[in-house]
Chains A and B, each alone.
Chain A
Amino acid sequence: MTALRFEDVWFGYGAVPVLEGIGFAVEPGEAVALLGRNGAGKTTLTKLVMALLHPHRGYVWVGDRITQGRTPEQIAARAAYVFQHADQQLFARTVLREVAFAPRQLGLPPHEIEALATDALRRVGLDRVGHEHPYDLPPAQRKLVTLAAALAQQPRVLVLDEPSQGMDAPSIQRVADVIRSLASEGVAVLAVTHDLSLVTEALDRTIVLDGGRIAYDGLSATLVTDATRARQLGLGVPPGVQLSLRLDLPGRPLRLADVAAALRAPEKGGRSAG
């Protein structure tokens, strides 16, 4: 069973069409990047996943649940959404209570809630701030708290809206690691992002929206190594990938660490000896 499916979805605000004939499916364990220029319809698409909006035409399936006729709180049992701005949801007195909110709402037994919350915080590297007040943390850490809160929901589908925005390199790496580990556990991840480096590090498939339609749906690697196509869609090629292509590194590594490893090897191939 696919984790997430859009079947010929159309949506607009009043007379203004935003999404036209959107169709795609995400399998469990797939990590998908949703790219596109500002205003292309990315956030609207993610809201359709959570039943915050409903399509005018077509259907959205989250696992075995169709969103039609359902509310976000019903979809929350299957899917979690990490909003772009953390402050939209932080309300608890401690980080731990904040992260435990969703499992409690979903009716899980207390001992399980505690375990889930602690584990989620550990995964995002915030195990030491469990007893802090969320608003005492710097903005980037608050974002990580909302990510942990979503993890504690044990979603089968995780939707992220600009997860790396406003973060520095170490925090972005942390987010990439979390996404990769979730995918390996069978969670389907859909991430709206402008950060091509995050795409290269953690999101193997890319869907590009352009003018409300899907302009590309395929491997991130293929898109990211095609500079012309990328430019056409308003995207850039991450520095690590550019380096890999221009130096013609063996195996065409795309991730930062892999590019560095290839450069460390004595045989760098593709260039004249000496």
Chain B
Amino acid sequence: MTLGYRPGDGLLHRTHPFTTASLAGAVSVLVFVLPGVLAPWGLVAGLCVLAAVSGLLPVLGTAAAFSAPFWGFLILIHGVFRDDLGTAVVLAGRISAMLTVFLLLLASVHPGRLVDAMLERGAPFGLAYLFGATLQAVPQLQRRAAAILDAQRCRGLRVRGSLVRRARAVIPLAVPLVLGALAEVDERALALEIRGAGSGARRTPLDPPRDGAVGRLVRWFLLAAVTGAVLWRLLS
């Protein structure tokens, strides 16, 4: 189950990073603003179609895996204890929609293209790189965490069992993760400087993100949809 960018050439991959980011933002607002218990699930359905068309079906599996614990928890709290299944369904739908759209964002936006898109709009290199690096951060931490888990298990660390045992396992797993990540940041800063990052020259985009009229139209549409929904909600 890898989070992060999956190389490909589907619909979402060819979409301009700003458009995909706008979609993520729009969905995050709409799930709260649209009325009806099933509205968030309607968005989820739409995202599933988008994922299928873009060749990113595995991402749905990841989203479902991450959402499942929440579904169970919500059904338990709201469905069983408070006898209010409706709330459980809405909340589960919101979580699933936001998780899905952000995972699709991670999977389809090449960090390099995001950086180039931001630089094209005049963003300073440091800021652009920060965004790109953040997209990278999750899969990187995931790989590192897996390596650390391997090392500590080989020293006898037990990770299954009682809550106390699991709590005790956090330190030997978290500390190398954090310290290692920090040390890596230091070294990466050296490497980036040497490789001309922030040199003041205008970076040549290697695979310029194509921004056509369609992309711009979609972004305007999303903005209009969100504004309209918010206004309608406020006024009614």
Contact = CB atoms under 8 A, between A and B. Distances in A.
Within the complex, are A and B direct neighbours (CB within 8 Å)? Answer: yes
Contact of B157 (A47, A75, A105): A105
B155 A88 contact: no
A80 interface: yes
B165 to A, nearest CB: 11
Contacts of B158: 73, 105
Contacts of A47: 150
B213 interface: no
B183 A73 contact: no
A114 to B, nearest CB: 17
Contact of B155 (A52, A101, A135): A101
A89 B173 CA distance: 8
Given A73-B156, A105-B158, A52 B172 contact: no
Given A52-B150, A88-B148, A91-B175, A102 B180 contact: no
B190 to A, nearest CB: 15
Interface string B136-172: 0000000000011011111111110000000000011
Interface string B168-196: 00011111100110010000000000000
A153 B156 contact: yes
A206 to B, nearest CB: 24
A101 B179 contact: no
Given A73-B158, A135-B179, A89 B152 contact: yes
A72 B151 CA distance: 9
* Residue with the highest number of chain B CB atoms closer than 10 Å, among A52, A72, A88, A89: A89
A87 B179 contact: yes
Contacts of A102: 155-156
- Judged by DSSP, the binding face of B is helix
Nearest to A83: B151
A72 B153 contact: yes
Interface size class of B (residues with CB under 8 A): 20 to 34
A60 interface: no
A71 B157 CA distance: 11
Contact of A81 (B154, B172, B173, B180): B154
Nearest to A106: B156
B155 A80 contact: yes
A90 B173 CA distance: 9
A90 B154 contact: no
Interface string A92-126: 00000000011001100000000000000000000
Contacts of A89: 148, 151-152, 155, 172, 176
Nearest to B183: A87
B148 to A, nearest CB: 6
Nearest to A75: B154
Interface string A35-52: 000000000000100101
A9 interface: no
Interface in A74-89: 75-77, 79-81, 83, 87-89
18 contacts: A52-B150, A72-B150, A76-B155, A76-B156, A80-B154, A87-B179, A88-B150, A89-B151, A89-B152, A89-B172, A90-B179, A91-B171, A91-B172, A91-B173, A91-B176, A106-B156, A135-B179, A149-B155
Interface of A: 47, 50, 52, 71-73, 75-77, 79-81, 83, 87-91, 101-102, 105-106, 135, 149, 153
Given A71-B153, A88-B150, 15 more contacts: A50-B154, A72-B153, A72-B154, A88-B151, A89-B152, A89-B155, A89-B172, A90-B179, A91-B173, A91-B174, A91-B175, A91-B176, A91-B179, A105-B156, A153-B156
